[in-house]
Amino acid sequence: MPEAARISSSVLQVIPTGTETQITFDTTDFDTNGLADLANDEIKVRQAGIYLVVAAVRFVGNATGGRDIRVRLNGAAGAIVVHETDGTPGS
């Protein structure tokens, strides 16, 4: 069976303006091989290979400021960045 895991959060998390904040996860939706680490809010891959990583975050509408999410690879910033320039999705 291939390794696969999904973690999620069941609560609203307030993100302060202008502050990089780690998303907290409290639910393991599925985990085929002990990858989910809720204590550290991450998925730990222990076997080399090619992995598909998908991230989704819902932001409350706001007409000012920018929003972005980052998926880190081994703690390094900017492995994947999705940026929203204002409160308009897709802008």
Q: pLDDT (tens digit, 9 = 90+) per residue, 35-46?
A: 999 999 999 888
Compute the average pLDDT of residues 56-71: 78
Binned at pLDDT 50, 70 and 90, residue 86 comes out as: low
Select the more confidently predicted residue: 67 or 8: 8
Contacts of 54 (CB under 8 A, 6+ apart): none
In this prediction, residue 71 carries a pLDDT of 81
**Inter-residue contact 7 to 23 (CB < 8 Å):** no
Compute the average pLDDT of residues 22-32: 93
- Which residue in 82, 90, 35, 76 sits closest to 56, CA to CA? 82
Residue 74 DSSP SS3: coil
- Residue 88 identity (one-letter amino acid): T
* Position 50 pLDDT exceeds 80: yes
In this prediction, residue 91 carries a pLDDT of 44
- Cβ of 25: how many Cβ atoms within 10 Å? 21
pTM above 0.75, yes or no: no
Binned at pLDDT 50, 70 and 90, residue 4 comes out as: very high
Quickly tell me which residue has 């202008």 as its tokens.
18
